[in-house]
Amino acid sequence: MNESVPKLPVLSWQGISLAHAPARASLLDLPAVRFTTSGRAAIWHALRLIGLKPGDRVLMPSYHCMSMIAPVVLLGGEVEFYPIVADGSADMDYLRSATRRPVRAILAAHFFGLPRAMQPIRQLCDERGIAFIEDCAHALWGQHAGNTVGSLGDYAIGSMTKFFPVPEGGCIASSRHSLEGVQLRSTPVRRELKVLVDVLERATSFERLPGVNGALNVLWRIKAMLRGRSRRGVDEGPKDLLVAQAALADLDVEQAGIAMSRAARGVVRHIRMDWTFESRRAHFARLLACSGRLSGARPLSPSIPDEAAPYVFPLLADDPDRGFAALRDLGIAVFRWDWRWPGTPDDTSDYGNVWAHHVLQLPCHQDLSTHDMDYIERALVQVFGRSVEPVGPTTTRELSAKGVI
Ligand SMILES: Cc1ncc(COP(=O)(O)O)c(C=O)c1O
């Protein structure tokens, strides 16, 4: 796949500030935070702090990506998948029944960065002595029923690559426990340099650093020539997509024990957080308006919650296989979680199953330019067609009643 629009944030002059601007509270403002190399490494640390032992049961959502599950399996935990309901929150009836037998931990996620109800899980975990991991990989900001994302979990985890122009990074955070037990080694100097080069190389490949793009691009060309490979799109073909997916099912324990590099943390510290928040919301709102007028797809969510700045825009497609392939052919890095952990139940009443096949996750990050957003909008109309009447969001239940899905 040729990356026509950046799939994840890219460093730009516009997005950085040398001063420390005060910003609205985020996951990173919880009382205890430690930066890891990835979100999955943060899940691994959380499970270790909880004291997960081989054979312990961990309840995980049926709608997931492989990297959420890998840490549990690596530590010998026994994963049991729970269904999700129409609004993306956990099926509490299932959880109540499943926790009659011993369970060590429950993980629940704010899918797409739209805050979900976590209070019922917190209450259940308190009643039954279970640890709760609040997965905020998609949600740096947001509230549900007055609870800020990350505040209800014993441990919350975040993924920096989804919100900042960095090639690595995650965090474990807690408003309830100390993180003294998270031991992290410092990053080797070679890796620090690689992170820095990766950040700059990506930024200049999208021409986001006027004034230095030219000089740095010459430098990267020389580097690429010395290594004998091209710069952009090296890992984007269909075969490489499979390789990238397989990598998600893996967790490098060596890397999990290392802290997020100082280079990546430095970038995060200087990103304009309020601008990031507002841009993501604006892009989400634009995709909401545009996808409400498509004939073969519609927004999964009717609106954008006040305090949220989503990770991606979820689009519910009637023919997702075709839509996914066509959008990727057009260079739009749409994600889909149809590749699930072996043994995930195929229960048709579980929304996790419908979403795994039908939900396409479109980029809405802060570093999409107006030109990028125009391109995405045109691509959506080309792939899904325009409807005569605005259709707006439709529930998956309505769609299945109509026989669309
Ligand atoms: C919900 C969720 N949790 C955790 C992770 C793991 O984050 P990372 O990619 O930083 O390891 C991901 C990654 O996509 C995710 O989508």
**Going from the N-terminus, what domains does the chain have, and what CATH number goes with each?**
27-174 (3.40.640.10), 189-269 (no CATH), 273-401 (3.90.1150.10)
Mutate to test the pocket of ligand 1, among 64, 68, 69, 341 (most ligand atoms within 8 A of CB): 68
The pTM is what?
0.92
Ligand 1 pocket member 137 (CB < 6 A): yes
By CB neighbour count within 10 A (0-12 exposed, 13-18 middle, 19+ buried), where does 70 fall?
buried
Distance separating alpha carbons of residues 103 and 82, to the nearest angstrom:
13
CA angle, residues 147, 124, 47, in degrees to nearest 5: 80
- d(CA 389, ligand 1 centre) in Å: 37
Residue-by-residue pLDDT tens, the chain, 405 positions: 778 999 999 999 999 988 776 688 899 999 999 999 999 999 999 999 999 999 999 999 999 999 999 999 999 999 999 999 999 999 999 999 999 999 999 999 999 999 999 999 999 999 999 999 999 999 999 999 999 999 999 999 999 999 999 999 999 999 999 999 999 999 999 999 999 999 999 999 999 999 999 889 899 988 888 887 655 544 455 566 666 666 666 788 888 999 999 999 999 999 999 999 999 999 999 999 999 999 999 999 999 999 999 999 999 999 999 999 999 999 999 999 998 899 999 888 899 999 999 999 999 999 999 999 999 999 999 999 998 765 555 555 555 655 545
Ligand 1 pocket member 68 (CB < 6 A): yes
Cβ atoms of 362 and 36 within 8 Å: the answer is no
Cβ atoms of 280 and 112 within 8 Å: the answer is no
By CB neighbour count within 10 A (0-12 exposed, 13-18 middle, 19+ buried), where does 13 fall?
exposed
Q: What are phi and psi of 144, to 5 degrees?
A: -135, 125
Ligand 1 pocket member 40 (CB < 6 A): yes
